[in-house]
């Protein structure tokens, strides 16, 4: 951190409403340290008048002298340069405003520091009282030594008055995590008495003035007189600081520099909001990452997996304690007192999850043991304390825990919680039947520099059985690309032809489904999704399969009898069992999907995609969602009160898994009767599943305002809408409406103009009009994104085939060829498909910051890189680079061209992956960073997730924890926030470009 003349760190201002001003001095000092995660600073507070400045300068040789005795606006902070490179840097706080009786107006912001202004929500009467509160309430939990400087022999009472608030605050019944600093009275050089005599008199005055006299006062207060000591004042302060540091280490309240800075910012927020409640360091340490809401439910589920006393005491209790220790003492949480941590964060949850249980005793037959809830919680707490005290955060903690309890965990298989962390629902299944969440998959899996977002396992991390499982994860700063396919029987050939045309327009050696991260389909649209994502078929293979499947399924039933008898038999059979024989559907689906389940999808995991589709509960008519990722939303059983319009179907164990063939059978309108219930075609509620996909997307990525691309594909429309062949379990009821909206003569003859046919016609026009439903959703998003309303059509796109003639029947397999030809002709000549293809190419890139933005001269300098989702290991990577060259592509940052045109193919990192350096300046961290890809002769297209604010990028990449992540990451294993090849520029190098490097400055 560069030296500057702006000395105020914490100050009060205002003429009427008092405001608290907090400069970024502490954060700047921490960021200037070489390894802040390994530094444990000490805070020394110096209290005295301006006349004490000569004595203060003897305390620390490099202490900055006041210029001409000028008083500062508040507390000042500086780093002792003698300790800057030690493991225990010393921070010095001083002030000189005790004589001021009025507040100064708020000055202009200095360009060397950031400033946060908070409104004080409690009465402030004068600067002296405010500064006293500032020191004794805000500074005290972080201070190690407080030095009181005496300039005369008769001002002992003044220092007693100053010491009392420090001692009273530490005796106010707070957590032990808020420790009392050591108080050092530094007497004037003219003092003739010994240090013992002054200390005796000081103790006597303190005991008389304290509201709660303390017997241990001698352990906090000491006196220094130069003529009575062989130590220099500097050595004495360092000795007092070492004693305070040892006390903090013994009581688990010693903070490294990063945690020190973070908790102090939380303390500033607390200080401005309340004067009564003391600052709770334990609660503040988890504000950024609270204890998971569902922990109680997951612990209760884990308790049901054991039924013997030995397993409960030898495995379950210590395993729960180990998981809780890993959760709390991760890289981003300071190591505080384990006993207080358990009581504050976990004890109530454990009590609510546990219950009195009668357990079998495996060592003695026919013997049962009653284990009380309190006994189980006490056992977990004891193991938590044992595992926490020697705990050192590291990257191998979770692997070590699984190795320790592998004999027991190998026998436990549940789909309701992740066995690796016991905090979330699992998403990814191993062949052996164990499941873990995505975060644990990344923590335990192996990845390589050439493809840092691709994780592999050659054995199950829980039972160590051999396997070959891979997972591609989305980069944290990349967005989602969503695909939605309407239902429509044989008309699903239209979305297939659209995807063929889009794949041709994109022009990469890459299946079209790999350009979308989330895909939802209804009815026949679900069949298309399952073929692409579950069976890993190409779009041409999907086209051929769909034609064969439609011809086989839509054959109709064999009639019995002739004439009226045959018609009656067909009507009754369709009413009872459906229009088409279930045997045709079952046989075809079994051949395609075999015995795989919705959680068995190696290809889908390897490309990082998710898929789902709606079904309808035949008993309750409730909309449910079947997913390949075990459900991102919690459904109607969530306990936070948020209204959900659907329920997510999940598997609870291996016997409860949803077979793909049964799910596809339901999607084809044939009843599906697993243990979950009876379900029928989701087209009855959401023939266009776009709204369901959008809601699931918001559950997956709440930090993203919108998807990169939301592509909805219809199954045909016409001006004279014809609702034909609406499949359901009750048959093939058909209702027609003429272009003017009136019902035909047949309907009028049987029903007249009553409400039944009108209601049915309205239901069809609303539910089966996918264009209308998508327009409503797009209008809703335009309202929620007012600043992007004009560009909403670029994010949310609807494609459909509009025919002049009536659409063919949903089961008319003979009409497929003609419909496919019409769709291919339309989409290959549609310019909006070409425009979408260019947008898809742009969404293949994303932006990441390389380090925390650097603040200087009133603005932030941000170093980052444009990266590519497609790794160098894929054939499509080279095809993409060639296509960018041929199309004259260039990047725009903040609407300005980055580098030279046609320079994109020469931007690679040391692993061969695409990486284009960017340096940009912004005035605020809330400013949006807009990165776009422009093709020659066309408009520009935003890259993935762009624009994003700088603060959002910092949060997503966890840049505030960069040093802690690097310390806990094993060698060769990249952290989630940056690639191993990205070397952050040093703070002292503020250059905009470097020789030989393609880096642009904006």
pLDDT tens for 730-788 read 334 344 443 344 344 444 444 455 565 666 565 566 667 889 999 999 999 999 888 88
Name the β-bridge partners of 616: 623, 680
Q: How far is 691 from 689, CA to CA, in rounded Å? A: 6
pLDDT of the residue at 986: 45
Q: Residues 415, 630: contact at Cβ < 8 Å?
A: yes
Is the predicted pLDDT of residue 141 greater than 60, yes or no?
Answer: yes
Domain 482-838 classified CATH 3.40.1090.10? yes
Find the range with the poorest average confidence among 65-74, 869-878, 905-914: 65-74
* Token pair 């002296």: residue: 128
Whether the upstream peptide bond of residue 317 has omega within 30° of 0, thus cis, is: no
Is the predicted pLDDT of residue 693 greater than 80, yes or no?
Answer: yes
Q: How far is 137 from 131, CA to CA, in rounded Å? A: 10
pLDDT of the residue at 790: 83
pLDDT of the residue at 756: 59
Mention every residue, 6+ apart, whose C-beta is less than 8 A from residue 126. 101, 102
Q: Please compute the mean of the pLDDT values over residues 58-71 and round it to a whole number.
A: 51
HSE value, Cβ hemisphere, 13 Å, CA-based, for 449: 11
| Category of 56 on φ-ψ map: left (φ > 0), alpha (ψ -120 to 50) or beta | alpha
**3-class secondary structure per residue, 923-940:** CCCCCEECEEEECCCCCE
Find, among 245, 47, 244, 276, the residue nearest to 160 by Cα.
47
Find, among 805, 723, 811, 801, the residue nearest to 489 by Cα.
811
Find, among 592, 429, 334, the residue nearest to 437 by Cα.
429
Predicted confidence band at 191 (pLDDT cuts at 50, 70, 90)? confident
pLDDT of the residue at 755: 60
Cα distance between the two ends of the chain: 24
Is the predicted pLDDT of residue 630 greater than 90, yes or no?
Answer: no
Q: How far is 445 from 395, CA to CA, in rounded Å? A: 12
- In the sheet with 8-13, reading across from the earlier edge strand, the strands are 115-119, 19-23, 8-13, 74-79, 90-94, 42-47, 145-149, 182-186, 221-224
pLDDT in tens, 667-678: 776 666 666 778
Angle of the 755-767 helix axis to the 770-784 helix axis, nearest 10? 60
Residue 899 neighbours by CB distance under 10 Å: 18
Predicted confidence band at 329 (pLDDT cuts at 50, 70, 90)? confident
Is the predicted pLDDT of residue 345 greater than 90, yes or no?
Answer: yes
- Which two three-digit tokens encode residue 244? 């305070």
DSSP designation for 64:
P
Residue 413 phi/psi, 5° resolution? -135, 110
Question: What is the DSSP secondary-structure string of 245-276?
Answer: HHHHHHTT----HHHHHHHHHHHHHHHHH-SS
Q: Residues 363, 425: contact at Cβ < 8 Å?
A: no
Find the range with the poorest average confidence among 83-97, 424-438, 459-473, 845-859: 83-97
pLDDT of the residue at 270: 95
| Category of 672 on φ-ψ map: left (φ > 0), alpha (ψ -120 to 50) or beta | beta
Q: How far is 391 from 326, CA to CA, in rounded Å? A: 9
Is the predicted pLDDT of residue 559 greater than 50, yes or no?
Answer: no
Residue 369 neighbours by CB distance under 10 Å: 15
Considering only residues 764 and 721, tell me which one the structure prediction assigns the higher pLDDT.
764
Name the β-bridge partners of 855: 860
Is the predicted pLDDT of residue 130 greater than 50, yes or no?
Answer: yes
Residue 778: helix, strand or coil by DSSP? helix
Q: Residues 498, 799: contact at Cβ < 8 Å?
A: yes
Name the β-bridge partners of 429: 435
pLDDT of the residue at 586: 82
pLDDT of the residue at 745: 43
Q: How far is 128 from 102, CA to CA, in rounded Å? A: 9
Predicted confidence band at 127 (pLDDT cuts at 50, 70, 90)? confident
All structural domains of the chain with their residue ranges? 29-110+125-260, 295-472, 482-838, 844-1001
Is the predicted pLDDT of residue 3 greater than 80, yes or no?
Answer: no
Q: How far is 911 from 705, CA to CA, in rounded Å? A: 32
Predicted confidence band at 619 (pLDDT cuts at 50, 70, 90)? confident
Considering only residues 448 and 568, tell me which one the structure prediction assigns the higher pLDDT.
448
Q: Residues 727, 681: contact at Cβ < 8 Å?
A: yes
Find, among 76, 73, 72, 91, the residue nearest to 30 by Cα.
91
User: Pairing mode, if any, of strands 610-617 and 679-681?
Assistant: antiparallel
Mean pLDDT of the chain: 82
Is the predicted pLDDT of residue 606 greater than 80, yes or no?
Answer: yes
pLDDT in tens, 927-985: 999 999 999 989 999 999 999 999 999 999 999 888 887 666 554 444 444 444 444 54
CA 143 to chain centre: 34
Q: Please compute the mean of the pLDDT values over residues 500-515 and round it to a whole number.
A: 96
Q: How far is 829 from 505, CA to CA, in rounded Å? A: 10
Residue 449 neighbours by CB distance under 10 Å: 16
Mention every residue, 6+ apart, whose C-beta is less than 8 A from residue 18. 12, 103, 119, 120, 124, 130
What percentage of residues in the chain have a pLDDT greater than 90?
48
Q: How far is 583 from 55, CA to CA, in rounded Å? A: 96
pLDDT of the residue at 113: 82
Q: Please compute the mean of the pLDDT values over residues 814-829 and round it to a whole number.
A: 94
Q: How far is 758 from 766, CA to CA, in rounded Å? A: 12
Dihedral, CA atoms, 987, 993, 996, 997, nearest 10 degrees? Answer: 80
In this structure, the chain runs to a length of 1002
pLDDT in tens, 225-241: 887 777 888 899 999 99
Predicted confidence band at 818 (pLDDT cuts at 50, 70, 90)? very high
Find, among 48, 28, 34, the residue nearest to 91 by Cα.
28
Residue 392 belongs to what H/E stretch?
Answer: none
What percentage of residues in the chain have a pLDDT greater than 70?
80
**Apex CA 399: angle with CA 394 and CA 401, to 5°?**
95
Q: How far is 782 from 325, CA to CA, in rounded Å? A: 45
Q: How far is 945 from 455, CA to CA, in rounded Å? A: 23
Q: Residues 475, 848: contact at Cβ < 8 Å?
A: yes
Name the β-bridge partners of 77: 93
Find, among 447, 451, 469, the residue nearest to 459 by Cα.
469
Q: How far is 827 from 825, CA to CA, in rounded Å? A: 6
Number of H helices, E strands in the chain: 35, 39
| C-alpha dist (Å) from residue 912 to 842, 871, 885, 919, 994 | 20, 9, 17, 21, 20
Find the range with the poorest average confidence among 254-258, 500-504, 641-645, 785-789: 641-645
pLDDT of the residue at 1001: 41
Q: Residues 391, 337: contact at Cβ < 8 Å?
A: no
Please tell me the pTM assigned to this model.
Answer: 0.86
- Which two three-digit tokens encode residue 106? 């708020």
| Category of 958 on φ-ψ map: left (φ > 0), alpha (ψ -120 to 50) or beta | left
Dihedral, CA atoms, 467, 472, 473, 478, nearest 10 degrees? Answer: 180
Name the β-bridge partners of 730: none
Q: How far is 354 from 341, CA to CA, in rounded Å? A: 19
Residue 628: helix, strand or coil by DSSP? coil
CATH code: domain 29-110+125-260 is 3.40.50.2300
Question: What is the DSSP secondary-structure string of 709-775?
Answer: EEEEE-S-EESS-EE----BTTB---EEB-TTS-B-HHHHHHHTT-HHHHHHHHHHHHHS-HHHHHH
Q: Residues 963, 975: contact at Cβ < 8 Å?
A: no
Mention every residue, 6+ apart, whose C-beta is less than 8 A from residue 3. none
């Amino acid at each position: 951190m560069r030296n500057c003349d702006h000395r105020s760190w914490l100050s009060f201002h205002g003429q009427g409403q008092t405001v608290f001003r907090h400069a970024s001095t502490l954060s700047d000092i921490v960021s200037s340290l070489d390894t802040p995660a390994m530094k444990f600073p000490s805070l020394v507070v110096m209290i005295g008048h301006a006349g004490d400045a000569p004595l203060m300068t003897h305390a620390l040789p490099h202490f900055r002298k006041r210029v001409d005795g000028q008083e500062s606006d508040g507390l000042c902070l500086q780093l002792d340069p003698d300790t800057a490179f030690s493991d225990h840097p010393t921070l010095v706080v001083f002030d000189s405003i005790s004589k001021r009786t009025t507040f100064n107006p708020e000055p202009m912001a200095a360009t060397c520091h950031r400033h946060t202004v908070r409104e004080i929500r409690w009465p402030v009467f004068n600067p002296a009282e405010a500064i006293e509160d500032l020191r004794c309430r805000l500074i005290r939990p972080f201070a190690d030594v407080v030095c009181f400087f005496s300039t005369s022999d008769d001002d002992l009472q003044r220092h007693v008055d100053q010491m009392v608030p420090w001692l009273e605050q530490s005796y106010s019944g707070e957590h032990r995590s808020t420790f009392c600093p050591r108080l050092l009275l530094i007497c004037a050089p003219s003092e003739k008495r010994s240090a013992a005599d002054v200390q005796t008199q000081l103790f006597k005055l303190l005991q008389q003035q304290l509201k709660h006299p303390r017997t241990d006062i001698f352990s906090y207060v000491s006196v220094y007189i130069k003529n009575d000591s062989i130590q220099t004042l500097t050595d004495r302060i360092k000795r007092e600081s070492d004693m305070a540091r040892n006390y903090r280490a013994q009581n688990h309240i010693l903070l490294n520099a990063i945690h020190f800075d973070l908790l102090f910012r939380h303390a500033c927020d607390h200080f401005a909001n309340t004067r009564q409640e003391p600052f709770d360091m334990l609660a503040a340490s988890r504000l950024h990452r609270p204890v998971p809401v569902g922990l109680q439910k997951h612990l209760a589920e884990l308790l049901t997996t054991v039924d013997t006393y030995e397993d409960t005491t030898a495995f379950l209790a210590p395993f729960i304690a180990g998981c809780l220790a890993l959760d709390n003492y991760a890289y981003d949480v300071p190591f505080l007192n384990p006993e207080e941590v358990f009581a504050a964060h976990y004890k109530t949850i454990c009590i609510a999850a546990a219950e009195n249980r009668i357990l079998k005793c495996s060592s003695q037959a026919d013997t049962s043991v009653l284990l009380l809830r309190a006994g189980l919680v006490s056992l977990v707490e004891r193991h938590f304390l044992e595992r926490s005290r020697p705990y050192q955060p590291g990257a191998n903690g979770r692997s070590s825990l699984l190795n320790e309890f592998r004999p027991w965990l190998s026998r436990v298989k549940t789909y309701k919680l992740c066995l690796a962390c016991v905090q979330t629902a699992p998403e990814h299944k191993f062949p052996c039947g164990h499941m873990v969440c995505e975060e644990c998959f990344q923590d335990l899996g192996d990845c390589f520099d050439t493809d840092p977002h691709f994780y592999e396992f050659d054995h199950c991390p829980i039972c160590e059985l051999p396997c070959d499982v891979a997972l591609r994860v989305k980069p944290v700063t990349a967005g989602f690309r969503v695909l939605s396919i309407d239902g429509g029987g044989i008309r699903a050939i239209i979305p297939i032809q659209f995807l063929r045309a889009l794949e041709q327009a994109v022009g990469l050696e890459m299946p079209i489904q790999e350009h979308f991260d989330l895909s939802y389909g209804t009815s026949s649209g679900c069949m298309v999704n399952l073929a692409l994502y579950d069976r890993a078929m190409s779009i041409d293979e999907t086209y051929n399969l769909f034609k064969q499947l439609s011809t086989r399924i839509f054959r109709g039933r064999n009639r019995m009898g002739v004439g009226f008898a045959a018609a009656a038999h067909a009507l009754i059979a369709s009413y009872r069992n459906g229009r088409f024989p279930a045997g045709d559907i079952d046989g075809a689906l079994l051949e395609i999907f075999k015995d795989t389940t919705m959680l068995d999808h190696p290809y889908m995991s390897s490309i990082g995609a998710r898929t789902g589709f709606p079904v309808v509960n035949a008993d309750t008519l409730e909309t449910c969602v079947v997913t390949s990722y075990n459900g991102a939303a919690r459904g109607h059983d969530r306990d936070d009160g948020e209204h959900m319009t659907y329920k997510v179907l999940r598997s609870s164990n291996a016997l409860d898994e949803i077979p793909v063939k049964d799910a596809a059978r339901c999607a084809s309108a044939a009843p599906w009767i697993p243990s979950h219930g009876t379900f029928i075609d989701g087209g009855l509620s959401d023939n266009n599943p776009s709204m369901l996909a959008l809601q699931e997307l918001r559950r997956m990525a709440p930090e993203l305002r919108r998807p990169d691309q939301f592509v909805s594909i219809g199954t045909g429309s016409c001006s004279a809408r014809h609702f034909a062949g609406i499949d359901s379990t009750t048959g093939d009821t058909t209702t027609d409406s003429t272009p003017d909206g009136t019902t035909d003569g047949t309907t009028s003859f049987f029903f007249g103009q009553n409400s039944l046919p009108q209601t049915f016609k309205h239901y069809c026009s609303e539910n089966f009009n996918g264009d209308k439903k998508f327009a409503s959703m797009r209008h809703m998003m335009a309202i929620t994104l007012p600043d992007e309303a004009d560009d909403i059509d670029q994010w949310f796109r609807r494609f459909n085939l509009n025919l002049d003639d009536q659409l063919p029947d949903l089961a008319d397999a003979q009409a497929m060829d003609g419909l496919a030809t019409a769709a291919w002709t339309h989409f290959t000549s549609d310019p909006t498909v070409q425009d979408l293809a260019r947008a898809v190419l742009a969404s293949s890139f994303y932006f990441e910051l390389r380090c925390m933005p650097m603040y200087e001269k009133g603005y932030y300098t941000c170093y980052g890189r444009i990266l590519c989702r497609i790794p160098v290991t894929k054939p499509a990577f080279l095809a993409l680079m060639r296509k960018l060259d041929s199309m004259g592509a260039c990047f725009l940052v903040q609407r300005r061209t980055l580098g030279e045109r046609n320079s994109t193919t020469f931007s690679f990192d040391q692993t061969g992956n695409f990486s284009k350096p960017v340096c940009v300046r912004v005035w605020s961290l809330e400013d949006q960073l807009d990165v776009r890809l422009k093709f020659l002769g066309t408009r520009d297209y935003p890259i993935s997730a762009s624009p994003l604010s700088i603060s959002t990028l910092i949060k997503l990449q966890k840049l505030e924890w960069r040093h802690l992540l690097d310390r806990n990451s094993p060698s060769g294993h990249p952290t989630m926030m940056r690639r191993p090849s990205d070397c952050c520029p040093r703070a002292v190098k503020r250059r905009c470009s470097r020789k030989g490097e393609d880096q642009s400055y904006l």
